[in-house]
Chain A
Amino acid sequence: MRAIWDLKKNIRRDWMLLLIVLPGVVYFAVFCYGPMYGILMAFKDYNVSKGIWGSPWAGLKHFKELVNSVYFGRLVKNTFLLSIEQLFWSFPIPIAFALLLNELKHNKLKRVAQTAAYLPHFISAVVVVGILKDLLSSDGGVLTRLLQTFGVQPKNYFNLPEAFRTLYVGSGVWQEFGWNSIIYVAAISSIDQEMYESASLDGAGRWKKLVYITLPSIAPTIILLLVMNMGNMLNIGYEKVILMYNPATYSTADIFSTYVYRKGLLSAQYSFASAVGLANSIINVLILLGANFVARKATDTSIF
């Protein structure tokens, strides 16, 4: 009785705050929790006319099919390697860029550099891949010619399985590092300037200030983003991979999401595709929990 009374009192007191949070709650309920009902499809033989609930149960059939697929090992390997390589390069570079920007004292130059770095973010993947293919075309591509002057035989790099990850990650970094640095630039700008002043009085140079003031101040942001990135590790969008791969590079380029696209969507095997998607998500959650645990133990910063 008392508890309900308290709740009512709280609602009356905080109704404005609750109102503010409401759209977020609705968003997650409708777009994130609602569709989870669809997970059932992974355990059923989904039939369009019977609906998700009416379709017959299939147990773990689709998961077994996935694990027994000839491509399972390759998909796991490719997805992990691509994710790890992506994280390895695309995570630290925006931080470094933000730190460098912070050292630029000329304000106008700083703004120009920042805007120039964002711009590629707004180019669609189709165009980026198009540019890349033109640059690297084996006859007449600018990069190919440049390499040729150094005595490298012209090759079509899009046909080399070993070049796929580099091309994918490299173009990704080029496209996103400016955009991803925004959050760090924001974090740096909120650092108390007095700390730098007192450090200067103590005789600290730029390097010392960077190592002892800037980095520790944005460390929580870095760790937070790292943990969150880890949680998204296996969610590589299929669009860019599909644009970039061809049968010659399947051996390194075929990942879970492209496999789901080919098999689930193009061949209308929805249950199987859901099973693959669910397996992917479970692995993601596990990685997220692991990263969070390590972060909490090691640095006292964590998401939860």
Chain B
Amino acid sequence: MQKKIIAALLSAAMLISVLTGCQNSGKQEGESSQTSENKETEETNEEKKSEVPSEETDTADADAPSIDATGTVYDLGGLKLPICEPGEVELTYMGNDTWCAGVSYNDGTAVQQEIEKRTGVHVNWDTYSSDVETVLQTRLASMEGLPDMVELPPFDSNVGVDTYSGNGVLIPLNDLIEQHAPNIQKLFEKYPALKAMCTSADGNIYALAGWWGDINDYVPDYLYIRQDWLDNLGIEMPRTIDELYDVLVAFKEQDANGNGDPNDEIPLATKNGIWQLYYLMTGFGYDTNSLWYVDEAGEVHYAAVEEQYREMLEFLNKCYSEGLISDDLEGNLLTQNITEDKVGIVCHDPADNMASSDDLAMTGNPNCDYEFMPVIQTDENGTAQMTKRSLTWHYYGITSACETPEVAIKWIDYVYASEDGSMLYNYGIEGLTYEYDDKGEIQFTDLVTNNETYTSAFSALRSVGAWPTYFINDSGEAFMKIFEGTKVETACKAAYNNMRDPFPEMLGTAEESEVYTSIWPDLSTYLNEMFTAFVIGTESLDNFYKYVETANSMGMQDIIEIKKAQYGRYQEIVGK
């Protein structure tokens, strides 16, 4: 039912905006009223049919009778569309371009045009597909030509929010949200964690985090293994770290892919760097695969400087020296090797990418079947669980250069938090990418399911501008819908409610950020470098304690203190 309402609203809005544009003053009434009068009656009927809660309709009536007279407005949980007359306000957005090859937001996509049609706000897109971070940093640092809305660098940490709010690039959004953004408020109520992660230490909200909390309840992100290889060799799926070792050895020594050459198998390869093998830490007494974790007493820990971690490094070192782990340390050749039917276990990918690995390998071996491994346990009685992917993506803010912040926040409210916006976001445009069947269920059109250029449904949706990179708020339900009936869906269902929440990434205070930025770049380089050195054997594990000492002397404990304080603040807001 919910969906039907949305759909009706949606089509109503489309019709209205197509016919009359989004004017709200009466100046063109004379010309347009005649042609659109009939349609307007239809609109009204349709709105009634769609059972818009009367309370909301009332508000609309009371607030803006003139708008109602032209029939060009309706209400989305308190947000009124259109936000302005078409083209009256122009905003600029700067950030990442779409992740769909061959398409650019700068050229405009169907969904962007639809958003403009419905909101009336014209957005000038200034997006980049490579070197985004550098471009953004330089532009923000020069303070010249600031966009109205911006994705905030640096991307790998959230210190940018503090940096740019501290120096006045970003404006506080609290009042704006309270007055103009009912849907963002609702989103915050639904996800206190999101509110916590958007709130700076001074209590203000300067930026909105790309929100993955919903989708990542579903999407597992772990190691996956060639089930068909296991079957070929007649071995069971590994569950403990010892079984995993046996499987790796079997992959190495035998002809698992059945091509007659027992030496071309790579038992274990990493995707984005060998340090990701910390995912195996659950095999060494940890409850979950997260470097930052909270123990039962509520203490914050960083695993990489703990004794148990050394055992894992020893194990990995043994595996590496026996050739069980790929020496392609950065994962540059992973795609190629998967395609050539060579890789037994991949560490690590989310569910949808696991399925694409199947597609890659199937070109060489039609039997290829990658499946997620169960979380590796220390022994048979282990109860470790996998950690959910991160709850947030990059942050987005409104800059001080924005002359109409209330329009910007309304636009964001629509795109980021409203139900109508979320339909556009997750499913695309009705009639173009999806339709409702007799039962009111969403069915994707041929454009999505049978696209010649973009063979995966995901990229097909992205090619029209759905699943954007700006103001991310991914829907888990929509994700499941896209992958209905595939192994991705099976994997997601198995993982649902079976994963641990990740360690919260809170925003720092000014002092925290300063300490963090001066310590962490060097320290993380060191940790990363030593992990690699221990595993590939250029550094002896006898030096593990020296390594811990060095890490501490570089400020490891300060970083842990910061994380503790931030975790405390998180707990306060989320109220657990």
Interface residues of A (CB under 8 A from B): 47-51, 65, 69-71, 133, 137-139, 155-156, 158-159, 161, 246-248, 250-251, 254, 262-263, 265-270, 272
- Given A65-B518, A70-B522, A268-B137, are A51 and B143 neighbors across the interface (CB < 8 Å)? yes
For B, the interface residue count at a CB cutoff of 8 angstroms equals: 45
- Inter-chain contacts of B159 with A (CB < 8 A): 267-268
Q: Are the C-beta atoms of B521 and A262 separated by less than 8 Å?
A: yes
B206 → A minimal CB distance (Å): 13
The reply to whether A248 and B521 contact each other, CB–CB distance below 8 Å, is no
Within 8 A of A (CB), among B493-539: 517-518, 520-522, 525-526, 528-529, 531-533, 536, 538
In the bound complex, do residue A268 and residue B533 qualify as a contact, i.e. CB atoms below 8 Å apart?
A: no
A-chain residues with CB within 8 Å of residue B266 when the two chains form the complex: 139
Could you say which of A50, A246, A263, A268 has the most chain B C-beta atoms within 10 Å of its C-beta? A268
Question: Is B95 in the interface zone, CB < 8 Å from A?
Answer: no
Query: Which of chain A's residues have a CB closer than 8 A to the CB of B15?
Result: none
Interface stretch among B120-128, B161-169, B348-356, B561-569?
B161-169
Q: Which residues of A contact B167 (CB under 8 A)?
A: 47-50
User: 1/0 per residue B533-552: CB within 8 Å of A?
Assistant: 10010100000000000100
Q: Which residue of A lies closest to B164 (CB)?
A: A48
Contact (Cβ within 8 A) B168 A49: yes
Flag if B521 contacts A267 (CB, 8 Å): yes
Asked if A267 and B517 make an inter-chain contact with CB atoms under 8 angstroms apart, the answer reads yes
CA distance A270 to B140 in the complex (A): 12
Known: A70-B526, A268-B163. A48 touches B169 (CB 8 A): yes
Residues of chain B within 8 A (CB-CB) of A156 are 327-329
B341 to A: closest C-beta gap in Å? 13
Of B168, B273, B327, B521, which contacts A263 at CB under 8 A? B521
A139 CA / B334 CA spacing, docked (Å): 12
Across the A-B interface, how many residue pairs have beta carbons closer than 8 Å? 96
Q: A47-B167, A70-B554, A71-B525 are in contact. List 11 more A-B contacts (CB 8 A).
A: A49-B169, A50-B167, A70-B522, A71-B522, A138-B327, A248-B533, A266-B154, A267-B154, A268-B153, A268-B159, A268-B517
Report B-chain residues with C-beta under 8 Å of the C-beta of A158. 329
Is B330 a contact partner of A246 (Cβ separation < 8 A)? yes
Q: Separation in Å of the B252 CB from the closest CB of chain A?
A: 13
Say how far A8's CB is from chain B's closest CB, in angstroms. 40
Interface status of B333 (Cβ within 8 A of chain A):
yes
Contact of A268 with B141 in the complex, beta carbons under 8 Å:
yes
Is there a chain A Cβ closer than 8 Å to B572's Cβ? no
Q: Are the CB atoms of B156 and A266 closer together than 8 Å?
A: yes
Tell me, in angstroms, the Cα distance from A138 to B264 when the chains sit together.
12
Q: What is the chain A residue whose CB lies nearest that of B527? A: A247
Q: Is B134 an interface residue (CB 8 A)?
A: yes
With contacts A133-B332, A246-B329, A246-B330 taken as known, whether A270 is within 8 angstroms of B141 at the C-beta atoms is yes
Closest to A155 in B: B327
Q: Is B220 an interface residue (CB 8 A)?
A: no
Chain B contacts of A159 at CB under 8 A? 327, 329, 536
Pick 24 A–B contacts, CB within 8 A, sort by A. Answer: A47-B166, A48-B140, A48-B143, A48-B163, A48-B169, A69-B522, A70-B554, A71-B522, A133-B332, A159-B327, A159-B329, A247-B525, A248-B329, A248-B529, A248-B533, A248-B536, A250-B525, A263-B522, A266-B154, A267-B159, A267-B520, A268-B154, A268-B163, A270-B141
Q: B274, B275, B330: which has the most chain A beta carbons within 10 Å?
A: B330
| B133 lies within 8 A of chain A by Cβ | yes
Q: How far is the CB of B408 from chain A (nearest CB, A)?
A: 19
Do the beta carbons of B538 and A248 come within 8 Å of each other? yes
Asked if B143 contacts A49 (CB within 8 A), the reply is: yes
A235 to nearest B CB, angstroms? 19
Q: Is B160 an interface residue (CB 8 A)?
A: yes
Of the candidates B137, B264, B522, B532, which one forms a contact with A247 in the assembled complex, judged by CB atoms under 8 Å apart? B532
Smallest CB–CB gap between A30 and chain B, Å? 16
Question: Distance in Å from the Cβ of A23 to the closest Cβ of chain B?
Answer: 25
Chain A residues with CB under 8 A of B275 = 247
7 A-B pairs with least C-beta separation: A49-B168, A49-B167, A247-B532, A156-B327, A48-B167, A247-B529, A263-B521
Chain A residue contacts of B329, Cβ below 8 A: 156, 158-159, 246-248
- Assess the B521–A266 pair: CB atoms within 8 A: yes
What residues of chain B lie closer than 8 Å to A254, measured between beta carbons? 525
Residues of A contacting B133 in the complex (Cβ-Cβ under 8 angstroms): 265-266
Is the beta-carbon distance between B137 and A246 smaller than 8 angstroms? no
CA distance A251 to B554 in the complex (A): 17
Q: Which residues of A contact B522 (CB under 8 A)?
A: 69-71, 263
In the complex, chain B residues 106-139 whose Cβ is within 8 Å of any chain A Cβ:
133-134, 137
The answer on a CB contact under 8 Å between A246 and B532 is yes
Query: Nearest CB to that of A248 among chain B residues?
Result: B532
- List B contacts of A248 (CB < 8 A): 329, 529, 532-533, 536, 538
Q: Which residues on A sit within 8 Å (CB–CB) of B330? A: 246
Shortest CB-to-CB span from B455 to chain A, Å, is 25
The A-contacting residues of B in range 265-287, CB under 8 angstroms, are 266, 273-275
With the chains together, A269 CA to B141 CA distance in Å? 10
Contacts A51-B143, A263-B521, A268-B137; is A250 near B156 (CB within 8 Å)? no
| Closest-CB distance, A119 to chain B (whole angstroms) | 25
A70 to B530, CA, bound (A): 14
> How many whole Å from A141's CB to the nearest CB in chain B?
10
Q: In angstroms, how far is the closest chain B Cβ from the Cβ of A143?
A: 15
Q: How far is the CA of A255 from the CA of B243 in the complex (A)?
A: 42
Task: Compute how far the CA of A272 lies from the CA of B164 in the bound complex, rounded to whole angstroms.
Answer: 17
Minimum CB–CB distance from B429 to chain A (whole Å) comes to 37
Asked if A269 contacts B154 (CB within 8 A), the reply is no
A133 to B328, CA, bound (A): 10
